[in-house]
Chains A and B, each alone.
Chain A
Amino acid sequence: MDVLTLSRLQFAVTSMFHFIFVPLTLGLSILVAMMETRYVMTGNEMYQRMTKFWGKLFLINFALGVVTGITLEFQFGMNWAEYSRYVGDIFGAPLAIEATVAFFLESVFIGVWAFGWNKVGKKMHAASIWIVALATNLSGLWILLANGWMQHPVGYVLRNGRAEMVDFMALLTNPFGLLKFGHQVVSGYTVGAFFVMGVSAWHLLRGRNREFFKASFGMAAVFALVSSILVAVVGDFHAADVAKTQPAKFAAMESIWESCRNAPMNLVAFPDEKNQCNLVTALPIPGMLSFMAFHDTNAEVRGLNSFPKEDLPPVLPVFLSFRLMVGLGTLFIVLAAVALFFHRNNLLEKYPLFLRLLVFCIPLPYLANQLGWIVSEVGRQPWIVYGLMRTSDAVSKNLVMSQVVGSLIGFTLLYGLLGFVDIYLLAKFARRGPEETNMGATGAFGK
């Protein structure tokens, strides 16, 4: 272990932990905003109780998302000073703009929404959660434009010993960043939708507040189906872009060792990194990979062996994560379609097994999100900025082992504790019905 490895491990731990909370914030903010909009439009009290019940879970999750995000902004300087110095001229801008344009909006209006039930009118109150939802998504856009630049650097020149921005518009319209943003936000919506479906299913299994949870379930099921289909559609475009911009990552995702035209998609494969080939390949669909990547069955797909060895990412984790992510994504579409069908035909309570399945599916979209980031970030290695700067050149020079060991242990313990408390509280308030959440005198807030 050295400072570099430990710093990478720390970035992985802190960003993955941060990303337990972000997708739910992305998805649940929109669902809660839709619930409150219904309340404002129909005047139906149930939708207000819905807003408050799901809103409470939203806020518990939101708090951790916010505080763990600051870590990432600090870490670029703390652990990756050489990176920050080399690319700060272009990479710092989207981060600063995110804070100024989006993060302020989100953090100020979350206060209006959480504390303003008796301070602002109904419409303004609903507008404030929409502002939060919008700002959260906007925040994601800037962060992913920053990450998109690390994946596919554009709009810069090498000058004065660093990368300097020369074309801001190129940064804003970087297809890599925009596609990743699209893929990511709808993945977040999927997390939110399956969360609401799963918690609703838990209550429906117990026959509690049936009308309330059926209505919640229905909204989430529509959202789940639309978002999970969009995840796949945008993901497909995203993968095609990766094939063009990051051929080594694409080859690792599919475990393709030799370049070939009319490349098949192997339904079964397993990489053997030592011998630089596949242990097994079976069930090929001829030309499918060329078609998916370049929309032409005759196009050439570059294999891993066509790259210098020192430019290759670790193949196995990228390959496995990608497969599993795609598998889960497909499963979400099927589950969402069945859920919507059952809900529309009032069959949910006839199939308790399906409801139970949905409860256990709550963590799966979270997993898919993490896997996607593994594909994205591990697949970019050995580069921190693709083709421009190696991760090994990016780490801070003045750090010593004891500092990073200490901080990594600190983060692990603190995050472990907070994660535990967060899950405990989410479970507690999710299991509580909406009635109990809002009962002042006996609830948690009346005393």
Chain B
Amino acid sequence: MDLHIVWFVLWGVLWGVYFMLDGFVLGAGMLHRVLGKSDTDRRVVINSFGPVWDGNEVWLVTAGGATFAAFPTTYALMFSYLYTPLLILLFALIVRGVSFEFRGKEDGALWRGCWDWAIVLSSFLPALLFGVAFGNIFAGLPMDRDGYHGSLIYLLNPYGIVSGLLFVLLFLVHGALYVGVKSTGDLSRRAEDLAKALWPPLLLVAVCFLGFSNFATKLYDNYLAAPVLAVVPLAAVAALAAVRLFLAKQRALAAFAASCVTILGVVFTGVIGLFPNLIPSSLDAAFSLTIYNSSSSDYTLRIMTAVAFIFVPIVIAYKIWVYRLFRERVSAETLAGDHEAY
């Protein structure tokens, strides 16, 4: 078995699962002021992901760590080339985490209002930046013998912006659906209505993204070479349609599940298209970072494969247990009896 391919798949899985899990926290974070008319409503939204957001974010740390361990050259160049966007992303993730913790620690409207807006902004920026970054990775970064020739402004090219919008809308719908299935009464209904309202713009941007990818990227080459792979983007599109169908049938949980599949499908559509590149060069294919020219030694890949195959299933098992443990909907009543909540 070619361990480079194993780690390429694992790399895609880590990012995909991260976006699927943190996606609803980012989405709900962006929406909690819109959805929550009162402070209690907002607390319901925040506490709906309270027990799980931290564990979700670790998928990002693991994706970063896995890139470092398995593809150190990609890790080094990707992180140093994308210095400024990553910095903004870091600041946002830092602010988001402490905002959840600090928001409920004082009663004042000013205090809570400040942390509320901090949550909105620090949820929006990562969603946008991840989209912009991945869009640019799909399209290839301008790098050659002399290094990197891009900048933050360069990354905000039309394709990068469409990808950013796609991520923002995916996460908004995903977050609204999550709040829908995790809250009660009016709040839950408002969230589901919002998911319905956001679905047409998401579809529009998704269509733009798929069409634009044909011109801005070489993602489709792999699909032309092996048409069977097209099941992945088709599954993503079908899942996106299913989101709306399930919503129409008042089956919010099924709609949320379909949204999970959509996000995984979008990530894998891109990742499959990249193969065997991790980051293509838009200037000269000789300088693309591939799973072969940027990887660790076979010995290291073997060690890391053993670790991943033993521990990732364990992680998944206890995460499922925790999601089941906190499956109950959150409401003003459940919060009133819980003094340890956010």
Residues on A facing B (Cβ under 8 Å): 52, 55-56, 59-60, 63-64, 66-68, 70-71, 73-74, 76-79, 81-85, 87-93, 95-101, 103-105, 107-112, 114-120, 159-160, 164-166, 168, 396-399, 403, 406-407, 410, 414, 418, 421-422, 425, 428-429, 437-440, 443-447
Contacts and interface: CB of A to CB of B under 8 A. Distances in A.
Interface string B235-260: 00000000000000000000000000
B54 A110 contact: yes
A83 B98 CA distance: 31
Contacts of A445: 104, 335, 338-341
Contact of B93 (A70, A89, A110, A120): A70
Given A103-B61, A118-B338, A88 B72 contact: yes
A410 B87 contact: yes
Interface stretch (B23-31, B157-165, B190-198, B300-308): B300-308
B325 A92 contact: no
Given A60-B101, A82-B76, A444-B105, A114 B340 contact: yes
Contacts of B39: 447
A93 B300 contact: yes
B50 A115 contact: yes
A77 B85 CA distance: 13
B301 to A, nearest CB: 9
B167 interface: no
Nearest to B40: A447
Contacts of B51: 111-112, 114-116
B106 A95 contact: no
Contacts of A164: 296-297, 299-300
Contacts of B65: 73, 92, 95-100
Q: Is the interface of A mostly helix, strand, loop or mixed?
A: helix
A121 to B, nearest CB: 11
Contact of B75 (A88, A103, A116, A422): A88
Q: Is the interface of B mostly helix, strand, loop or mixed?
A: helix
21 contacts: A70-B93, A73-B61, A84-B68, A84-B75, A88-B72, A88-B76, A89-B297, A92-B72, A100-B308, A100-B315, A101-B307, A115-B47, A116-B51, A117-B340, A164-B300, A396-B83, A428-B105, A440-B337, A440-B339, A443-B339, A445-B341
A69 to B, nearest CB: 8
Interface string B69-105: 1101101111111011011001101110110111011
B326 interface: yes
Interface residues of B, number: 71
A89 B296 contact: yes
A438 B338 CA distance: 10
B231 interface: no
A418 B98 contact: yes
Given A88-B68, A101-B311, A107 B98 contact: no
Which of B53, B296, B312, B337 has the most A CB atoms < 10 Å from its CB? B296
Interface string B310-342: 011001001100100110000000011111110
Given A111-B53, A114-B340, 10 more contacts: A63-B102, A89-B297, A90-B300, A396-B80, A407-B87, A414-B94, A418-B98, A425-B105, A440-B337, A440-B339
